[in-house]
Amino acid sequence: IRTHDIVIIGGGAAGIGTASSLLKRNSELDIAIVEPNEDHYYQPGWTMVGGGVFKPEQTVRKMAGLMPKAATWIKAGCQSFQPEQNTITLSDGSQIGYKYLVAAPGLKLDWDGVEGLFETLGSNGVTSNYRFDLAPYTWKLVSELKSGRALFTQPPMPIKCAGAPQKAMYLACDAWRRRGVLKDIEVEFHNAGGVLFGVQEYVPALMSYVEKYGIDLCLSEKLVAVDGPAKRAVFEVTGKDGKVSRTERDFDMMHVTPPQTALNFVAASPLANDAGWIDIDPETLRHTRYENVFALGDAGSTPNAKTAAAVRKQAPIVAHNLLRVMQGLEPNAHYDGYGSCPLTVERGKIVLAEFGYGGKLQPTMPTWMLDGTKPTRLAWFLKERMLPGIYFEMMLSGNELFAKPDLNLDKAA
């Protein structure tokens, strides 16, 4: 079987970011990237597509154009891992060998986790910014709705970009407010979790928008079934006493954030922890049992906010630590759990949540310049004008301007 020094699973934000980061450090490396898709998506842009700000084309590029030239692209899906043999099996049954493995295949959007959802997506007023082809439908529904009831849902954690369910809602409310129809639309946020946002410091700013838009906040309510033609949603409600009951809501439009889990082939592999995520050290991002395996991005077990912003910090850490291990040294770069979630509270303003492990605030800019706990125009400018470029031109090409301090090398290993 063909063997590469480094095999990377997934050509998403994490896979390409890590490959480029490795090659920036050593352009001679023999790296293969296993990725079945022709297209690469800038998923953070889908919120903006659903909000009528970006065109869908701004969020997709050809994979071929983003793959580092010095890497070998294996255009196939990985079907299983054999870490004892240092091999992976591809979807056609063939095997690839490696000396070092970086696993970054992302996570699974579990549309089937809600009864009746999959078949009605894209029709009957049911949409989701979590799919490239559906984000434009969100904006169509928002643009056309004049009165009635709009539901927005959030499943149990973990999900990628925990703020995205709310972002879709606030941008919709803002569009309705500007058109003068918000007063005729009942907006409900059904969140399986018990709080509006997991990091307390950002809640007051978000609550002020919940109140401004007159949103009915329904906490501990999990979407379990949808009847598209009847335009009816069923929620499982957990009461304060822990008792579970069901409630039904009719809707005119519904934005769904699907339940999210580890990919099946990952969860079934020896790399997974009990919850199905790839079991890595939260700081070095090295596998807890296989010393020549690293993982990052949405597939990893690290308890950070699953975001591209997190990947931007993780990729250089994996690159640095992997090269150390190749030299027979111990990993000495440490990820601090940074993740970021730009909450689009209205068109033109964002509450920029930036935090690490344990919900510790980690603002990139000094507070006098940008206070992330307040809605700011500067954060919107960053999201609309700067971040797509930073993603495509810097992160995916291994440009790590200012990345050095993020390696946290001084921390005692």
- Max intra-chain CA distance, the chain: 66
7 to 36: interface string for ligand FAD, x by CB under 6 A:
--xxxxxxx------------------xxx
The nearer residue to ligand FAD, 77 or 122, going by C-beta atoms, is: 77
State both tokens at 64.
Answer: 């071929």
Among 51, 68, 106, 259, the residue binding ligand FAD under the rule CB under 6 A is 106
3-state DSSP call for residue 87?
strand
The nearer residue to ligand FAD, 187 or 299, going by C-beta atoms, is: 299
Among 78, 206, 315, 370, the residue binding ligand FAD under the rule CB under 6 A is 78
Does a cis peptide bond (omega within 30 degrees of 0) precede residue 155? no
Residue-wise DSSP of 336-375: ---EEEEEEEETTEEEEEEE-GGG-B--SS-TTT--TTS-
How many C-alpha atoms does 74 have within 13 Å on its Cβ side? 26
Question: Are the C-beta atoms of 339 and 310 separated by less than 8 Å?
Answer: yes
Residues 305-334 that bind ligand FAD (CB under 6 A): 306-309, 311
Q: Which of 78, 161, 173, 218 is catalytic?
A: 161
Residues 258-297 that bind ligand FAD (CB under 6 A): 263, 265, 297
> How many C-beta atoms lie closer than 10 Å to residue 397's C-beta?
16
The nearer residue to ligand FAD, 127 or 231, going by C-beta atoms, is: 127
Q: Rounded to the nearest whole angstrom, what is the least distance from the CB of residue 285 to ligand FAD in the complex?
A: 12
The nearer residue to ligand FAD, 71 or 231, going by C-beta atoms, is: 71
The nearer residue to ligand FAD, 12 or 228, going by C-beta atoms, is: 12
Residues 164-193 that bind ligand FAD (CB under 6 A): 164
In degrees and rounded to multiples of 5, residue 230 shows phi and psi of: -85, -10
| Tokens 């033609």 sit on residue | 229
> Is 218 designated active site?
no
The nearer residue to ligand FAD, 128 or 321, going by C-beta atoms, is: 128
Per-residue DSSP letter, 376 = B
Give how many residues touch ligand FAD by CB under 6 A: 37
Q: Does 375 bind ligand FAD (CB under 6 A)?
A: no
In 3D space, the residue among 95, 79, 77 whose CA is nearest the CA of residue 87 turns out to be 95
Q: Does 160 bind ligand FAD (CB under 6 A)?
A: yes
3-state DSSP call for residue 177?
helix
> Is 161 designated active site?
yes
In 3D space, the residue among 389, 387, 401 whose CA is nearest the CA of residue 354 turns out to be 387
Residues 328-367 that bind ligand FAD (CB under 6 A): 340, 342
Q: Does 44 bind ligand FAD (CB under 6 A)?
A: yes
Q: Rounded to the nearest whole angstrom, what is the least distance from the CB of residue 410 to ligand FAD in the complex?
A: 26
Q: Does 105 bind ligand FAD (CB under 6 A)?
A: yes
Residue-wise DSSP of 212-281: HTT-EEEETEEEEEEETTTTEEEEEEE-TTS-EEEEEEE-SEEE-PPPEE--HHHHTSTTB-TTSSB-B-
State both tokens at 285.
Answer: 């991002």
Among 26, 37, 200, 264, the residue binding ligand FAD under the rule CB under 6 A is 37
The nearer residue to ligand FAD, 190 or 306, going by C-beta atoms, is: 306
Residues 126-145 that bind ligand FAD (CB under 6 A): 129-130
Give the residue numbers marked as catalytic.
161, 341
Binding residues vs ligand FAD (CB under 6 A): 9-15, 34-37, 43-44, 46-47, 77-78, 104-106, 129-130, 160-161, 164, 263, 265, 297-299, 306-309, 311, 340, 342
